[in-house]
Every structure is written in C-alpha cells, then in structure tokens.
Amino acid sequence: MLEGERCGQWGCAVTDLVPALLGAPRFLIEPARSLTDYHRLRRKVFVDEQGLFAGSDLDDRDGDARTIVLEARSSDGALLGGVRLGPVSDGPDIGWWQGGRLVVDPAVRGAQRIGPALVQAACAAAEQAGALRFDATVQSRFRRMFERLGWQPVRAVTVAGRPHHLMRWPVGRIAGLAAATKNPLGGLLDGLNPGGAGFVGDDGAPVPGSDLIAACDAILPSMVERDPDWAGWCAVLVNLNDLAAMGAEPVGLLNAVGARDATAAAKVLGGLRRAAEAYGIPILGGHTQLGVPAALSATALGRAAAPVPGGGGRVGHRVRLTVDLGGGWRPGYQGRQWDSTSWREPGELRQMQGFVAAARPAAAKDVSMAGIAGTLGMLAEASGCGAVLDVDAVPRPAAATMGDWLTCFPGFAMLTTGPQRPAPTGPAVTAECGELIAGTGVSLRWPDGETTTAVPGGVTGMGAAA
C-alpha cells in the first residue's frame, strides 16, 4: 500500500496546511506518494553523509502501517526533504506519537527553510490524527531550531553514539477546549454562589428547604437549527446526566423552544418526547415561541435526600470513569459528539442513570462539553486539588482517537472518586484511570511514567466548593 493511501485513513490531508511560501510557491508538503525517494534520501544523509547508521537506517517504525510520511517537493516534483511520524506503541494508539527521520537534501538546505516547514507540518498532522503527546529525538545541534518553532526541551539523550535531545511539542487541545467553554465562568458567576455551599461547580443545584435537585441546560442554537430532533434528545440527556451525577431520581422536565415555524418546533419537540419516554420522565410544561431564531433549553427536577457533590474529592482518591462505549459518532459531529444513548433500550438508560445513586461515591461529575479531561479538572477544582489521568487506562471505543475521546461529549460518562459501593452500570464499563493530587489542573500520565500538562490550572475559576 502506498504511504499516501495509508495517510488517508488517518485523515492527514495536510496539503492545505503548509504550502511553504517565499514570495511565490517554492515547494509543497504533502503525504508521500511513494517511499522510495524518501528512503533513498535518508540513506544518503544518515548513512553516507553523517555515518549515524551502518548500511541502513530503516527500523520497525517504517514497517508500521500507521506511520505517516510527509514530503516536501519542488514545483517540478523533485524530493527536497521528508519526515515521518506515527504512534510510539506497537499496540493500540493511545495518542502518544513520535516524529523522526527529518531529512533535507544537502543541495537545498538553509535558504528555503524546508526543515522547519516539515516540522510544522508534522505537528499539524499529529494533532489532526488525535495525538495528545508528540515527541521527537533530535540531534543536539538542531535543538535551537525546534525551540524557535515552539518545542520544549525535555532532556539530553544519546542516539547512535551521538548527542541528541528529546523534544516535545506542547499539544494544547484540552486546555484550549477548557478555555473556550469553561474558563470565563468564575468571573461571570462571581457573587451568585450557584449550587450553594458545598455544591459550587455542580451542574445541578439543591433547592433550599427541600430534597429537590434542579438542573438547567441550553443547547447550541446551531445544533437546534441543523439537527432539531437530536437537539431535543440531547436537551433531555444532558439534564438527566446532571441529575444522575448528584444521585437524584428525575421527577419532571420543563422546556423552552424557539423556532422559525411550527414545522421546525415539531421536530425539536419530537426529539424531546422520544427522550422523555425512553428515560421515563414526564414533560411537565414549558414555553414555545415561533417566528424567532432556533433556541432550546430545558430544566429538569429530581429528588435526592443526600446529593452527591462534585467537589467531594480529596487528595489521594482514585479516579474512576464509568462510560457507555456503544454507539458511534453522531453524523455531522465527527470527533465532537458520541451518540451512545439514542439507540439504547429504556431499561439500559435508566440503569446507567441510577449508577451514582446506588454507588454513593465521595464525588461525582458527568462529563460535559469540556470533555473527560476538562470535566476531571472541574471535579478536582471543586475539590480543592489537582488530578492526573492515566491515559492508557481510559476506556475508549476503537472508533475514537484519544484526542477526540478526551475532548468530546461522550453521551453517558460519569467521573467518580473516593470510596463507593458496588453498583450496576448497565451497558456502561468502569475503570480506574487516575487520582486526585495536591496542586491544581490536570496532567496526563503515560505508560513510560512521563506526564504532560492537559489543563494548567483551574478550569472554571470558581474555586473549591466548600
């Protein structure tokens, strides 16, 4: 199979990412059409010129079908340079990738900055393929070039008897999602004390003087417009997830729908009705307005005599993820919304929803639009600590890259910490995949013991719950 064909299944169409320009196009970086020229150039440089290898520099990464090779070619098709990248492990791809064998033809080194352009293209391709850690071991004389491109030095190493340096590209995908979706909340909600003492940062709020829990969520207007039935389903799903995370039994739902006409409103209400029937919750009432832009919000009420807080974690508590891996990406939302619920039987849905109430963990939080890692950061922040997530222990469907999985909305997923009772999870699976630690933010821990920063500090700025 040609390398370009292999690259296609990883979705690394980078021809639009790095057309290197110096006044006019001088070269184009794209997936390799054939590996023959690239391997020939590597031999010329690494074996004949530099003497780093005897006979051949080929290794097992060259035989891995997941390896991507990017080439820089001139306008007349001549190979100017290349680089390879791919998963480090021979097993399942957990989002740990490595770049290497960066090579530029000696005849064109320097002036056109082909090497830096290939490095930047490799970073883009790795992130597009779902990598959350991207390393490269480079000759020490090139360390400064990588640092200028934004790479971070890790440590000095020796390769083939020559001084090298392990460098790491700072993948900011998780932190960027947290910044876009949750970081402004602390300032916006200052003085409102949402949730009340002990429950600040929870998605549901105890109603004073009662055993009621209230939760309210709005659906993105663009989603209501594009996929109204799914939007209606999700309005029920996200609110009931909020109640379930607090161990509450749902008792009723209210909704507010805005639509351009009755036909559009009927599609939204159809999704609401289907979900309410599946989850066994009555729609108590609401408000419908026609002749307006698409809008949808819902409020759910539940009962819990002793709500489970999102901020009940403590340093040393193990982190567990309970998640439904069934289903697949919602059409039109690839990499962003995993639909594990719309096809489930009512009994399966209700058993998953009752998990936290039966387990009674010290802390629980349903995974929201901040994704698994961002939501863990919210739980840790409300608990007054930080967290570390063991990447290779996170349950994940085969159809999702680790980058997508840790940043998507996964349908049904609960993070819990501390002691908890054995409880049925229905079709969902549970795994220990991290711990709460002193400090702030979230780190990813990898099989080699290295950690990388996912979220550098508090996610919402709302602070500890108590």
Angle between helices 228-245 and 346-353 (to 10 degrees): 40
Tell me if 437 sits within 8 A of 315, measured CB to CB. Answer: yes
Which pLDDT score, from 0 to 100, does residue 7 have? Answer: 34
Q: pLDDT tens for residues 190-224?
A: 877 777 778 888 889 999 999 999 999 999 999 99
- Please state the separation of Cα 168 from the chain's center in Å: 19
CA max distance for the chain: 80
What pTM does this model have? 0.91
Is residue 17 scored above 70 in pLDDT? no
Is residue 11 scored above 90 in pLDDT? no
Q: From the CB of residue 433, how many other CB atoms can be counted at a distance below 10 Å?
A: 21
Tell me if 304 sits within 8 A of 232, measured CB to CB. Answer: no
**Which CATH class for the 204-306 domain?**
alpha beta
- Token pair of 52 as six digits: 């780093």
| DSSP secondary structure of 208-239 | TTSSEEEEEEEE-HHHHHH-HHHHHHHHHHHH
Task: Determine the 3-state secondary structure of 96 from DSSP.
Answer: strand
Q: Which residue has the higher pLDDT, 122 or 183?
A: 122
For residue 284, the number of C-alpha atoms closer than 13 Å in the C-beta half-sphere is: 10
Which pLDDT score, from 0 to 100, does residue 25 have? Answer: 53
- Token pair of 35 as six digits: 């590996």
Is residue 446 scored above 70 in pLDDT? yes
Residue 295 sits at φ, ψ, to 5 deg, of -155, 150
Which is nearest to 289 in space by CA: 255, 316, 331, 318? 255
In the block, tokens 């909600």 appear at: 189
Tell me if 103 sits within 8 A of 83, measured CB to CB. Answer: yes
Q: Which residue has the higher pLDDT, 170 or 461?
A: 170
Which pLDDT score, from 0 to 100, does residue 33 have? Answer: 86
For the chain, domain boundaries = 3-171, 174-202+309-466, 204-306
**CATH level 3 topology of 3-171:** Aminopeptidase (3.40.630)
Angle at 202 between CA 198 and CA 207, to 5 degrees: 70
CATH superfamily for 174-202+309-466 is PurM-like C-terminal domain (3.90.650.10)
Say which amino acid occupies 263. Answer: T
